[in-house]
Amino acid sequence: MSRIAYVNGRYVPHREARVHVEDRGYQFADGVYEVIAVQQGHLLDEKGHLDRLDHSLKSLRIPWPMSRRALQSVTREVIRRNRVRNGFVYMQITRGVARRDHAFPKNAKCAVVMTARHLKQYDAKAAKTVGVDVITIPDIRWERRDIKSVSLLPNILGKQQAVEAGAYEAWQIDDDGCVTEGTATNAWIVNSKRELITRDASHAILNGITRLAVLEVARKNGVTFVERPFTVEEAKAAREAFLTSSTNHVKAVTRIDGTSIGNGDIGELTTNLIDMYAERMERAGEPEA
């Protein structure tokens, strides 16, 4: 089946999708994006993603290109036309097309691109049996990481370092020696007190929607958690570690920079959180509160 993309008001074959050479997203990374998981044909945590999109747009002073309800309608149509039951939808909004100049253009119209892709359904059983390696790298990104900007060059460089090191992900380290987040994921550890720890939401990290979902299920199930920075040394000495994102969901980390975490196996709390999150995913089609 041919993939279908949405480009500025038109549904077109993916191979024919085009944006203008002077789109500011292309020339300046002057835009934002969101990736929303699709589970059993339903958008997962749609409200949270659109709320974060609103935050990103407002932070860059880019207006919504259409109403929220209209964007939701387009999103569902892209999913329908691509027949995606499990996968994700990618949406990107830029300031639009204008003569190249650093200052905001006065009359540019926002540009909107949306695509969808199939992925295998999240396999919680497999997630409880296979962990991944991460490496640590300096965090060289700008200071507004809470904005989901299309400017991802430091993330790309970091991910490539991980690939070349034979690792799955790279956790980025700030000037204080603390983990901020992965190149495309949020970072978590479980300490010797069995406390779940993840970096607090601030300008230092992107407040992941899956991150918020895991905190929600932890709270509902009586898991003790703390939102604070943690050092690389603390991470390597942790009982357990894992990462989260909209496409990875919950994935155990069993080695950091070659050091085994705990006994090298996936820990009890990580296993329980995978089950809790998978159960939450099964309720994806239910109305959001």
* Domain CATH code at residue 39: 3.30.470.10
pLDDT of residue 2: 72
Neighbouring residues of 72: CB distance < 8 A, sequence distance ≥ 6? 46, 50
Last residue in a domain, options 86, 121, 156:
121
CB 234 within 8 A of CB 175: no
pLDDT of residue 285: 59
* Domain CATH code at residue 138: 3.20.10.10
Catalytic residues: 148
Are 170 and 240 contained in the same domain? Answer: yes
pLDDT of residue 210: 98
pLDDT of residue 1: 56
Which of the residues in the chain have pLDDT under 70?
1, 285-289
Beta bridge partners of 37: 88
What pTM does this model have? Answer: 0.95
Last residue in a domain, options 88, 121, 154:
121
- Name the CA dihedral angle for 34, 122, 199, 287, rounded to a multiple of 10 degrees: 60
